[in-house]
Amino acid sequence: MIETGSTSYDPAALRRLREEVRPGWKGAPLERVMSVAQLATSGIEALDGTLPLPLLLLSASALVHNVDRMARFAADRGVLLAPHAKTTMSPELIAAQIDAGAWAMTAATPSQIRTLRAFGVRRIVCANELVETAAIAWLAAELDRDPSFELICLVDSVAGVALLDRELRQARSCRDLGAVGLTATRRLPVLLEVGTAGGRAGARTLETARAVADAVGASEHLELIGVEFFEGLRIDAADMAATIADVDAQLEEVHAITVALTTEGRLTDPLVSAGGSALFDRVLARFGTDRFRVLLRSGCYISQDGGFYAEVSPLAGRGEEPEPLENAIEVWGAVLSRPEAEVAVVGAGRRDMPYDIRLPTPRWWRSRDGRHQVVLSSASVLRLNDQHATVRLEPDAPVAVGDLVGFTVSHPCGAFDRWAVIPVVDDARRIVAAVHTRF
């Protein structure tokens, strides 16, 4: 049975990770080598020229606000929170989410699980099927090594159940397990993933769901504890009414399958896991906590963004909740050229900013000497190259070569993976902390 208390991590292991020195990381001072912990206490004004551009900055106040806001949202509604670690893959930010009461952390790949285990995260939801021999063997060994470690993964087919059960059996047969770890009394908890036609993984019908549940019930090493679904595959920000109707219809199917499996005795006290970063309110509207244990896996809330999620999150532009989430991400680049009256070329591109949902938005201009800064109300990115953004400006915009332009972005998951170390700044953009990522 899965415990109900929040997860934990190893503070000593986190300190060791922060003391690692990474020479040459993007955005580091050019004239010296420092650890993340040293950068965090440097007091550098991030845009004074000490750190080379381009540069991603995180707002300390926004991060603190967002972590607290989502934690209170979950607690007020009686739901569990397992933030998706893939958004940041930052040990420091993951630790902050755990400190705020996260029940677990979510991972998508074996390597992400390995990163979380590197600083002792105790409870992990793998929001994916496990099918790789080496990965299953490593996870079985890790579960044996640390009896306090809890892992939940997904299954969606009879073939997948058979494969996972077989690989666990093989992994155990290769070791002397003794009296601890994955003995016959400790099964691996799994969630049955439900999908939709044309979507991603997941059982498509109740008949398939029943067959998978029965296969888990007949397995030697697995235990079915609930149902999983991801509702964020088809979001149209321009027509959220149609999007919500579509998601509600999908969730109705998941609800029907969950109720059927419970009524038929294939599930007891089911855990229902869903909830990306845009429509988790719809999950709660369909799955009442009086009947189900609900686990949200939202990840982007920690930094939010200045674009897509700012519009579609129920804790931002789409909702009416108080204390909305705040954008924490800025990317700054230097103006390299002003080749035309309405064009500036800025030294920040696809290697620095996400563009999978929308192009970044130029939001701030700062003079080279730092004395002047204004909000750019009508600037836009015409195109991105690897290291350049071509920006459209008003002809009279006071943007000169050597000045700085700051961008907001859409989709945090595409921002963090471009940076190994990220300064965290106060409202004056002075460094007050720093985080690192381990993608």
Distance CA(276)–CA(298), nearest Å, equals: 5
The pLDDT, as a whole number, for residue 5 is 84
The pLDDT, as a whole number, for residue 1 is 53
pLDDT band, very low/low/confident/very high, at 175 (cuts 50, 70, 90):
low
Choice among 24-33, 168-177, 305-314 with the minimum mean pLDDT? 168-177
The pLDDT, as a whole number, for residue 23 is 79
pLDDT greater than 70 at residue 433:
yes
Can 11-58+325-436 and 122-298 be said to share one CATH topology? no
Domains of the chain, residue spans? 11-58+325-436, 122-298
Residue 278: which of 255, 297, 258 has the closest Cα?
A: 297
The pLDDT, as a whole number, for residue 84 is 98
Contact 413, 303 (CB under 8 A): no
The pLDDT, as a whole number, for residue 367 is 97
pLDDT band, very low/low/confident/very high, at 361 (cuts 50, 70, 90):
very high
* Mean pLDDT of all residues in 381-410: 97
| Mean pLDDT, all residues of the chain | 94
pLDDT greater than 80 at residue 7:
yes
Contact 189, 221 (CB under 8 A): no
Distance CA(326)–CA(233), nearest Å, equals: 23
% of residues, the chain, pLDDT over 70: 97
The pLDDT, as a whole number, for residue 349 is 98
* Mean pLDDT of all residues in 235-250: 95
pLDDT greater than 50 at residue 386:
yes
For residue 147, the tally of other CB atoms under 10 A from its CB is 12
pLDDT band, very low/low/confident/very high, at 275 (cuts 50, 70, 90):
confident
pLDDT band, very low/low/confident/very high, at 2 (cuts 50, 70, 90):
low
Domain 122-298: which CATH number of 3.40.50.2000, 3.40.30.120, 3.40.1500.10, 3.20.20.10: 3.20.20.10
* Mean pLDDT of all residues in 310-325: 96
* CA 6 vs CA 66, 159, 215: distances in Å: 18, 33, 30
The answer for 89, left when phi > 0, alpha when psi is -120 to 50, beta otherwise, is: left
Buried-exposed string 10-28: b where 16+ CB fall within 10 A, e elsewhere: beeebeebbeeeeeebbbb
pLDDT band, very low/low/confident/very high, at 183 (cuts 50, 70, 90):
very low
* Mean pLDDT of all residues in 336-346: 97
pLDDT band, very low/low/confident/very high, at 179 (cuts 50, 70, 90):
very low
pLDDT greater than 60 at residue 184:
no
- The correct answer on CATH 1.10.3720.10 for the domain covering 11-58+325-436 is no
